[in-house]
A = this chain, B = another copy of it.
């Protein structure tokens, strides 16, 4: 869908990305490949990460000081763990140009909005965002330009935000191949609790459970993981800091969805104990449809086993 992107005009002049991990480095690569910004600056306080990004030549400038980096920026994207948004926001606030846009890529939106709103001055447009894309890998080298292509990006602008700034940010993500949806930050957090946060939590949990067994060896768990378990180990290999911060910052919605999950699981457990085959069959038949819908919507591979090589 982005074959013609190279002929498009840049959406912003100066783009500054703070944090050069998987997502930050992918934003830089995508912005470059699809000409979404005239100049792309990366800032990261971790020298090893910054050096790695520089060696990959994915931006036009590299700073270890985010305050210096954001000078004259038109669009600043915070690509740091959710728990670090407030301190980074405070650090850069005084250096932001009037009329610039500040956004982010955090997986939780209401806590980011509440943390940044009092820090970012009124002449800067604060519009939190979340591209729903990623892999289980971390760091600058794990990024790639097509990560956002065909995926959704959710923006959660606060009330009264500047419409032109919102349009610019929307156009930016569209240039990267995403489709943009706007919703309130609390609703975002509820939706992502079920489509992302609780799935990660139960994946981490079952890998932990399997690791701690005394009746089945770790070697057996690994050998026979193709029975289904290995699927869960992928998302359970995601960045620990990022995910710790997600759960600490989306507590209410995660606990609400987790409560429903546990309630349903208890009902299934009871169906197994009482050998209610009809109840099991009914659920197992119903869940096939949602897979079909996800494939039809272009949100997953139709190839068996995610297209894994055999």
Closest CB-CB distance, A152 to chain B, in whole Å?
Answer: 5
Q: Which residues of chain A from 147 to 174 have a CB within 8 Å of any chain B CB? A: 147, 149-152, 154
Closest CB-CB distance, A274 to chain B, in whole Å?
Answer: 10
A247 to B272, CA, bound (A): 6
| Per-position 1/0 for A64-75, Cβ under 8 A of B | 000000000000
User: A287 near B196 (CB under 8 angstroms)?
Assistant: no
A199 to B152, CA, bound (A): 28
Chain B residues, Cβ within 8 Å of A204: 268, 283-284, 287
Known contacts A191-B220, A224-B132; A240 and B208 CB within 8 A of each other: no
| Per-position 1/0 for A249-265, Cβ under 8 A of B | 00100110110111011
Chain B residues, Cβ within 8 Å of A147: 310
Known contacts A233-B291, A305-B234; A251 and B272 CB within 8 A of each other: yes
Known contacts A209-B257, A273-B255, A307-B306; A229 and B264 CB within 8 A of each other: no
Q: Which residue of B lies closest to A301 (CB)?
A: B308
User: A224 near B196 (CB under 8 angstroms)?
Assistant: yes
Q: Which residue of B lies closest to A196 (CB)?
A: B227
Chain B residues, Cβ within 8 Å of A213: 194, 260
Closest CB-CB distance, A153 to chain B, in whole Å?
Answer: 10
Chain B residues, Cβ within 8 Å of A272: 247-248, 251, 254-255, 258
Which A residues form the contact surface with B (CB < 8 A)? Answer: 107, 132-137, 142, 144, 146-147, 149-152, 154, 181, 190-192, 194-213, 215-216, 218, 220-238, 240-241, 243-245, 247-248, 251, 254-255, 257-258, 260-262, 264-266, 268-269, 272-273, 275, 277, 280-281, 283-288, 290-294, 297, 299-301, 304-310
Task: For the complex of A and B, list the 8 residue pairs with the smallest distance between their C-beta atoms, beginning with the closest.
Answer: A196-B227, A240-B284, A135-B304, A237-B291, A199-B228, A306-B306, A236-B287, A207-B287
